[in-house]
Amino acid sequence: MSNERVAYAYAKSLIGLAKERGQVEEVFQDFMHLAQMSDSNRDLKLALRNPIISSEKKLNILNALFKKRGATEATLKFFEIICRKGRENVLPEMAKAFVKLYNIENSIQVAELTTTFPIDEKLRKEFKAVISRIAEAREVQLVEKVNPELIGGYILKVNDKQLDESLSGQLKKLKSQLIQNQYVKQF
């Protein structure tokens, strides 16, 4: 079974357990923290994936990281089960899958907006309103990035769709059209 499917299955069971215990928000915060840590800390990700490090040591690392910040008992027990099953290498994917499931259940749409300059509050509200209407989401979380190489315009990514309205994107399209020989029959 692929890591994505395993991660999804475990995340789905964990969200069910968190609902039972009435700790969905707390467990969400724990797994949001795990997702951020695994993205920003390469050593943690490598340690979890390293087959030489025992599952017990990996559990000790996770407990040391999460007990300090007051993680829920459900999260700590989940780590224990995952390490006992030898699936700790999939924990970063599980964290991301949990966050996605949480967002789906709470009608939260995450979108990525790349512009050439930081946008102001007015533009932010307009983008959120459009995304909310299109995705039929109650709430929109906008991840903003600045890339001056776009020259102008924006790139908006929502789920697996991308809208490239940047000047550099338009120039690339124009270049590819000009390169094609219009006078030679295409097969």
pLDDT score of 183: 67
What is the token pair recorded at 175?
Answer: 């270049």
- For residue 177, is pLDDT > 90? no
Per-residue pLDDT tens over the stretch 97-146: 999 999 999 999 999 999 999 999 999 999 999 899 888 889 999 999 99
User: Does the reported pTM lie above 0.85?
Assistant: no
Per-residue pLDDT tens over the stretch 33-87: 999 999 999 999 999 999 999 999 999 999 999 988 888 899 999 999 999 999 9
What is the chain's alpha carbon radius of gyration, rounded to the nearest angstrom?
Answer: 21
